[in-house]
Structure 1
Amino acid sequence: MNQAQEHVHPVVAEVTDRIAERSRESRAAYLARISAATSAAAGQPTRAAMGCGNLAHGFAACAGDDRLAMRGLRKPGIAIVSAYNDLLSAHQPLHEFPEWIKDSAREAGGVAQFAGGVPAMCDGITQGRAGMELSLFSRDVIAMATGVALSHDMFDGTLLLGVCDKIVPGLLIGALSFGHLPAMLVPAGPMTSGLPNKEKARIRQLYAEGKASREDLLEAESASYHSPGTCTFYGTANSNQLVVEVMGLHLPGASFVHPGTPLRKALTEEAGRRIVEISRGEEYTPLGQLVDERSVVNGLVALLATGGSTNHTLHLVAIAAAAGIQLTWDDFADLSAAVPLLASVYPNGSADINHFHAAGGVQFLVRTLLDAGLLHRDVKTIAGPGLDRYRQEPVLDGDKLTWREATSHSLDESVLRPVERPLADNGGLRMVEGNLGRAVIKVSAVAPENRAVEAPARVFSTQAEFDAAFRAGELDRDVVVVLRNQGPHANGMPELHGLTPALGVLMDRGYRVALLTDGRMSGASGKIPAAIHLTPEAAAGGPLARIADGDVVRLDTEAGTLEMRIDAAELDAREPSDGAPDETQWSGTGRELFAALRRNVGPADAGASVFGPMTPGHLGVTAPRTEASVGGPS
């Protein structure tokens, strides 16, 4: 890829180039597929190629001018695909959006229809319960549901309404299968700040020790999660918003505007107008061309610079694969070594996402990363060519939405820093590997003195086993807690937030503590060094299935190593544990409906996806690491 037209940091340029080279064939095949779909429309609305009976079904429920427009085959049709429900606080505001969008699309010369809903589950509600074992699989179900919504072939552009965890990646993966259509994500914004996240964590630890009551805990939780909007800590939901905005898939400045405000309504209405504009003519911007190697790297750099969610080591890989792009954990590791950490947002600090936004937010982040050459400037976005538009923030001038240049300096350097004065010289994610496999670790909230731990292992196969051992005092020592059979093949790879308070208690008692698991911790990974997403997973016969109580494990994030202190021949000779659930055990709470996905899911480093052999990892092959010198050790 030619970087001559823009100043790009050499590591960013080299990683981008090798992704492009690695993806040459798969990307070309993807672009050829969406080009063929574009050619089929021959410059007219997609529905022009439909038979009369098909078309009549498509506008039968329309009335008035919308009906005439759909029948007349002139105005573009816009699909609204929404993850609305009023169980999720982040998605409750989406209830009003479709009518606003329909009005603004009509004003811009298009017709918007609610094409389909997709499921949206709340990981906060299912945390530690059986339903959490469906959470990661819900991403691929959402992608398929998005495909069903768009399969009617009535549409020339798509608005994707969703915010949280698996939902935004699922919507994007589904829309990329229709990559000849322009598509835009429409966020809802965070709730206002409630009980500080550190105070919530303190109450959780007291409850884990039996020093706070259930009523105390419920009062703290409900003061934290208190209104419509996204949870305010920097977990996967808010990482989603930041990443996709820097990828150019939101309107500039749209991510962190509160729901229920005039500005949020104006941005939603503008999304309806803008999708009509980019669905045809000179501004035609198909999603499959916008999401290219450079935009994927931009999203990854933004994630690393802010210490974002570890879930994106799965999601970005799967999103990229849906566009024919082969992204690997080595790319994460080498970029992390070169990208400085610029944000301190809980769990990486005391501030919440509203403080980040007030300090300068995405707009200042884009400015400082662009000026340092750490982002690709020359990219396509839904706001037009070039990432410089994302230095601008939206404001209302009376009733009119406009954009102005955002702050050129951070308004609070305890929360957001320029590249010249980073919080750390490298990003918040690391990759570690050794005789136990490969894993991801988020270190942005881990104190430097806790980033290397060597201790005897204590092995568990369920969270309940761990809880019982903690309450019995059996873990009051230096320990590497091993929780296995939590990978995608075993039980759907649930998030394991419920371990955090107890592990925090052990660390506060002065013990050296680490967690090793083939499950997930997501964006809530905190002060405990947690090597997660370990692959190969135990249920697939990985070395984790052979570890035993008392085995000494060393996790060293600075050296990038994860080793069990055991002779290789002895490790290979051990019989693997038999703790993964079988078909009869993995049932209840709807889990039996997802058994086919569990049997066919790919490994964590290939995105833990059920969608075919899109990368070498799906074939059981790890791409050779030939660029080890790029960015230094991971």
Structure 2
Amino acid sequence: MTDTPLHPTLAKITQRIIDRSRNSRQRYLDRIRAAKQQGKVERSRLGCSNLAHGYAAMPKTVKIEMLRENVPNLGIITAYNDMVSAHQPFKDFPDWIKDEALKHGATAQVAGGTPAMCDGITQGYAGMELSLFSRDVIAMSTAIGLSHQMFDGGLFMGVCDKIVPGLMIGALSFGHLPAVFVPAGPMSSGIGNKEKARTRQLFAEGKVGREALLESEMGSYHSPGTCTFYGTANSNQMMMEMMGVHLPAAAFVHPYTELREALTRHAAAHLAQNIRSGNIKPLGEMLTEKSFINALIGLMATGGSTNHTMHLIAMARTAGVILNWDDFDEISAIVPLLIRVYPNGKADINHFTAAGGLPFVIRELLKAGLLHNDVDTVVGRGIHHYTQEPFLIDGKLEWRDAPDTSGDDEILRTIDRPFSPDGGLRLMKGNIGRSVIKVSAVREGCRIIEAPAIVFNDQREVLEAFDRGELERDFVCVVRYQGPRANGMPELHKLTPPLGILQDRGFKVALLTDGRMSGASGKVPAAIHMTPEASMGGNIAKIRTGDIIRFDSVSGELNVLLDEAQWSARTPESIDLTANGAGCGRELFANFRSLTSEAETGAMSFGGEFA
């Protein structure tokens, strides 16, 4: 593929990020290079007693191989459990990987497991307040698994919201090791997303009962695999492709298929062979500023999850790369929206894949000079490798070029005829602070609102006010004390149906919060991740019911329309947060809440180098 010159604005933004990250990136590289065991397998530094513990549980044939000092050992970090549909398929992956590693001159061990919680299960309940910080727990448990220093490379198995970012943060803390990320794939398509959303709204209006709602939900979430809407989980998979840490187009192949098993086995074989030959870079050196920028571009071109305005920043910071919301905003302005998948459209991720999928998107971005091709990936130099998709021909894997034309231009389009000229993510800022909004799913006439605030300190208060009929008006719904330090920053999806109903009744409504809405952000304009959050003295805590708010997601203006002197003189209103501190395990996360950084710096609880 002939490289198109890089878009000049992208080149300017890229250089700015490189310059901003220069010192922190060099410190990271120095650290991981110092950790590298030169010319020997990692375990060669361990003493005999230490090694005996590491070998003890292995079959005799594997022990024989591990005693050879030129045989690499692959560490598997798995997020398997059989409750979360996206992670249940990982059950058999370690056996396939171990079998394939032995065939290619390597051994493999399960180095450790990580938790993998489902936001869909905890949504609206106390457990959701552990969700964001589960990312940091996953990162730490990944590091614990690798800390035995038995491994020469890693295979990382995860899919969903916090799991992949946590695995990546943990893997980058051992960035001197090469790595491949191994996905499990989406479930088959269930009932249509439009039908599902309609039933949810009817339930919120009291027009159908719980039995009908449960039947609808189970018709959508119905089998092993990732949920098929384009939320944080599938945005994760897109970003791993854009960063080149998957095998090309591995993300959206269904579980329990011959092709999925072949791809999993090939990941192990490929990593083993390339460690032996020295043809693969350590993860921390492979992923550069441009790799993370490619992920950001992919987020905009596909209308991905707003959660990654935190997670991508956190992953990048682990590798010494400093991104901020200005970068997101400016890249969004130049990257056109090429796909429409629910909640930005009616289709699901399977329809998108069938229409041409990520290989088509990557090729279109490269053609327009809107993607960095001069990056390393697990399959070699250049993201152009990811313009191909895998097939299993007579039992052998074969990659072929993506189709020249979209299979459905209501789902996937070329760069010269996009759904929108920009990526649909905006930076909102003004006298309240800084926040982000996903406008790609918001109708044109609903993007600018000037209306009184109604202030709430809990999402349940909003639902109760709706049930009492108190919200039948134009208003900006302000839900504060929902940030990382207040209560772990839960997602507020239960607000979407009632606010959507009010919008459908002709009222102008918007949401302003220091909490999250994630990749399922829908038709109601929502300025989220407000920074500084209320618990850190942010100005969102100064808003009072009745204040007029100018909410303009076209220009990015977000202001309380008060005289500057009057606004400056007003003090933040504090509330009692002790109820957030215990129950459902929340007491174990007190240190996370007290240490976490702001949303724009990744909401990281590690402090130090990463804050």
TM-score where L is the length of structure 1: 0.95
1:7 alignment partner, one of 5, 8, 27: 5
* Cα distance in structure 2, aligned partners of 1:305 and 1:585: 37
Change in Cα spacing, 1:37 to 1:6, as seen in structure 2 (3 Å) is farther
1:23 and 2:21 matched? yes
Q: Please name the residue that 1:609 is paired with.
A: 604
3-state secondary structure, aligned to 1:369: helix
Q: In structure 2, how many angstroms separate the alpha carbons of the residues matched to 1:435 and 1:270?
A: 53
Residue 146 of structure 1 deviates from its aligned partner by 0.2
CA contact (8 A) 1:278 1:382 kept: no
Q: For 1:308-323, list aligned pairs within 5 A.
A: 308-323=304-319
CA-to-partner distance for each residue in 1:402-449, whole Å, 9 max, x for gaps?
111121221111001111101010012111100000000001100111
Measure, in 2, the Cα distance between the counterparts of 1:454 and 1:95. 52
- What amino acid maps onto 1:596 in structure 2? N
Q: Which residue of 2 aligns with 1:622?
A: none
1:179 is paired with a residue whose SS is: coil
Aligned counterparts of 1:234 and 1:37: Cα–Cα separation in 2: 38
The secondary structure found in structure 2 opposite 1:257 is coil
Q: 1:312 & 1:266 partners in 2: Cα distance?
A: 30
**Does residue 516 of structure 1 match 2:501?**
no
> Kindly tell me: are residues 393 and 585 of structure 1, through their superposed partners in 2, closer, same or farther at Cα, counting changes over 3 Å?
closer
Q: 2:566 matched to 1:570?
A: yes
Matches within 5 A, 1:211-226: 211-226=207-222
Q: Deviations over 1:455-509 (max 9, x none)?
A: 1111111111111100111001101000000000100000011100011100000
Matches within 5 A, 1:403-552: 403-552=399-548
For 1:526, give the aligned amino acid: G
Question: What RMSD over aligned residues (CA atoms) do the two structures have, in Å?
Answer: 1.2
| Amino acid in the other structure paired with 2:116 | A
CA distance in 2: counterparts of 1:175 and 1:261, whole angstroms = 28
Report the residue type matching 1:22 in the other structure: R
Q: Deviations over 1:248-277 (max 9, x none)?
A: 010001000001110001001111111112
| Residue of structure 2 aligned with 1:32, choices 25, 30, 33 | 30
Q: What is the CA distance between 1:5 and its match in structure 2?
A: 8.1
Q: Give the 5 Å matches for 1:46-57.
A: 46-57=42-53
| Equivalent AA in structure 2 for residue 46 of structure 1 | E
Offset at residue 35 of structure 1 (A): 1.0
Query: Contact 1:306–1:428 at 8 Å: present in 2 too?
Result: no
Residue aligning to 1:210: 206
For the residue of structure 2 that corresponds to 1:279, the secondary structure is helix
SS of corresponding position for 2:581: coil
**Aligned residue number for residue 79 of structure 2:** 83
- How many angstroms apart in 2 are the aligned matches of 1:194 and 1:544? 40
Q: Which residue of 2 aligns with 1:328?
A: 324
Contact 1:93 1:229 (8 Å CA) reproduced: yes
Tell me the secondary structure at the aligned position of residue 160 of structure 2.
coil
CA distance in 2, matches of 1:301, 1:286: 23
Q: Distance in 2 between matches of 1:565 and 1:280?
A: 64
Superposed displacement of residue 579, structure 1: 2.2
Quick one: which of 588, 591, 597 aligns to 2:583? 588
Partner deviation per Cα, 1:303-336 (whole Å, 9 max, x = no partner): 1001000000000000000000001111001100
1:270 to 2:277 alignment? no
CA distance in 2, matches of 1:580, 1:515: 23
Contact 1:6 1:377 in 2 (8 A): no
Task: Give, as a single letter, the amino acid of the residue that structure 2 aligns with 1:463.
Answer: Q
Number of the residue aligned with 1:249 = 245
Conservation of the 8 A alpha-carbon contact between 1:187 and 1:255: yes
Please state how far the C-alpha of 1:284 moved relative to its aligned partner. 2.6
Q: Is the 8 A contact 1:6 1:376 kept in 2?
A: no
User: What is the TM-score with the length of structure 2 in the denominator?
Assistant: 0.98
2 CA distance for matches of 1:282 and 1:95?
30
- 1:577 CA drift (Å): 1.8
CA positional deviation for 1:281: 3.1
Deviation at 1:6, TM superposition (A): 6.3
Provide, for residues 350-393 of structure 1, a one-character-per-residue CA deviation record: whole Å limited to 9, x for no partner. 00000110110010011100111100111100111111110111
- Give distance in 2, aligned partners of 1:359 and 1:136: 33
Gaps of 5+ in 1: 619-634
CA distance in 2, matches of 1:472, 1:275: 59
Match of 2:346 among 347, 350, 365: 350
Separation (CA, whole Å) in 1 of partners of 2:520 and 2:404: 30
Please say if residues 4 and 366 of structure 2, whose CA atoms lie closer than 8 Å, have aligned partners that are also in contact: no
1:188 shift after superposition: 0.5
Q: What is the letter of the counterpart of residue 176 of structure 1?
A: L
Aligned length: 610
Q: Take 2:583 and 2:432, find their aligned partners in 1: how far apart are those partners? A: 32
1:580 to partner: Cα distance: 5.0
SS in 1 for 2:429: strand
Q: Do 1:75 and 1:110's aligned partners in 2 also have CA atoms closer than 8 Å?
A: yes
* Residue equivalent to 1:629: none
Instruction: Determine the structure 2 residue equivalent to 1:137.
Output: 133
Q: CA deviation at 1:65?
A: 2.3
1:543 and 1:516 map into 2 onto residues whose CA distance is 12
Residue 171 of structure 1 is matched in structure 2 by 167
Are 2:594 and 1:599 aligned?
yes
The C-alpha deviation readout for 1:141-193, integer Å capped at 9, x for no partner, is 00000000000000000000000000000000000000010111100000000
Cα-to-partner distance string for 1:208-251 (whole Å, 9 max, x where unaligned): 11111011100100000000000000000000001111110100
Partners of 1:100 and 1:457 in 2: CA distance: 56
1:111-143 Cα offsets, whole Å, 9 max, x none, are: 010000000100000000000000000000000
Write the mapping of 1:71-110 to structure 2, written as runs, cut at 5 A.
71-110=67-106
The alpha-carbon deviation at position 282 of structure 1 amounts to 3.4
In structure 1, how many angstroms separate the alpha carbons of the residues matched to 2:506 and 2:379? Answer: 51
How far residue 585 of structure 1 moved from its aligned partner, in angstroms, is: 4.4
Question: Post-superposition shift, 1:280?
Answer: 4.0
Q: Is the 8 A contact 2:3 2:366 kept in 1?
A: no
Deviations 1:16-61 (A, max 9, x none): 11111000000001111111112xx221111111111111111111
Deviation per CA, 1:523-554: give whole Å up to 9, x if none: 00010000000001011111111111111111
Where structure 2 has 5 or more consecutive residues not aligned to the other structure, the ranges are none
The answer to whether structure 1 residue 370 and structure 2 residue 362 are counterparts is no
Distance 2:122 2:20 in 1: 38
Contact 1:338 1:426 in 2 (8 A): yes
CA distance in 1, matches of 2:482, 2:55: 47
